[in-house]
């Protein structure tokens, strides 16, 4: 099975300007496809911007809304899968969500953030109730979560036990918590024996300062791709053969003793 070249779009786009952000994505998808990428991953709430206050309710869309259709067209035009963060409206409820659209334009998976960070998110969104959301892409089992979710070890371990090969994490990770991008994410990949694509926003936005440092971390804990602090498109390969070899040599999941962990729940 060939490696899946994965592009990480580190960008904050334009606040409250969905059309402008779709243009940014279209351009980046074209550049990613030119490198041979089969997947591009955008940050948390990329469609609308993060620090948009009351515009969240106005800009929220259903999972099959007009922006999903526009992004499906981008995916088909450039021949690659797309993951993007957006505010999802389901009736009167709004979720902080991320959606995976395949290279043929099919909506493959939609994830709702389960752990909301800070006063803003807790006031604006309802938490999701499904920890593990997966889809198949290029022979890999793809899992999804958003930002703060990856900081809970139980979340990522649940994906490992469910067979996730590549965990996609659109994020809006801010100062002074850059150690999450620098250190915690590679450790999550190693201790759970999977790839993690952690894709951040960058620069000042309202009261927030996003730190960039997006990375694709491998099951050996090494970064296959790492962005700096600014707007950037970086690519790295998710290699199924390397993943299989790493899992064969790493005993963490085999040596677990679940009977000792009942107190965790």
42 is catalytic: no
Instruction: Single out the catalytic residue among 113, 121, 131, 215.
Output: 113
147 is catalytic: yes
Instruction: Single out the catalytic residue among 44, 88, 151, 205.
Output: 44
The CA-atom distances, in angstroms, between 113 and each of 40, 84, 124, 241 are 19, 13, 12, 31
List the alpha helices (DSSP H) in 84-239: 118-124, 153-161, 179, 185-192
DSSP labels for 32-63?
Answer: HHHTT-SEEE--TTTTT-S--TTHHHHH-B-T
151 is catalytic: no
DSSP 241: H
Instruction: Single out the catalytic residue among 42, 121, 131, 147.
Output: 147
The CA-atom distances, in angstroms, between 120 and each of 44, 211, 213 are 14, 19, 23
Q: Catalytic residue positions?
A: 44, 113, 147
């Amino acid at each position: 099975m060939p490696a899946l070249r994965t592009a990480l779009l580190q960008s904050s786009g334009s606040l409250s300007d969905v059309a402008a952000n779709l243009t940014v994505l279209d351009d980046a998808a074209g550049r990613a496809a030119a490198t041979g990428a089969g997947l591009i991953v955008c940050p948390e709430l990329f469609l609308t911007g993060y620090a948009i206050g009351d515009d969240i309710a106005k800009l929220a869309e259903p999972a099959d809304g007009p922006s999903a259709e526009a992004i499906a067209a981008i995916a088909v035009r450039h021949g690659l899968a797309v993951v993007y963060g957006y505010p999802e409206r389901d009736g009167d409820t709004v979720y902080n969500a991320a959606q995976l659209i395949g290279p043929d334009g099919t909506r493959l998976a939609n994830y709702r953030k389960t752990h909301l960070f800070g006063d803003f998110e807790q006031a604006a969104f309802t938490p999701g109730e499904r920890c593990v959301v997966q889809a198949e892409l290029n022979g890999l089992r793809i899992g999804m979560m958003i930002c703060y979710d990856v900081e809970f070890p139980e979340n990522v371990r649940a994906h490992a036990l469910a067979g996730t090969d590549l965990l996609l994490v659109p994020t809006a990770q801010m100062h002074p918590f850059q150690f999450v991008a620098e250190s915690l994410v590679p450790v999550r990949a190693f201790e759970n024996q999977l790839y993690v694509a952690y894709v951040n926003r960058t620069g000042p936005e309202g009261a927030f300062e996003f730190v960039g440092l997006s990375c694709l971390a491998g099951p050996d804990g090494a970064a296959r791709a790492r962005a700096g602090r600014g707007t950037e498109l970086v690519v790295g390969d998710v290699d199924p053969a390397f993943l299989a070899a790493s899992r064969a040599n790493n005993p963490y999941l085999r040596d677990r003793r679940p009977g000792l962990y009942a107190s965790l729940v």
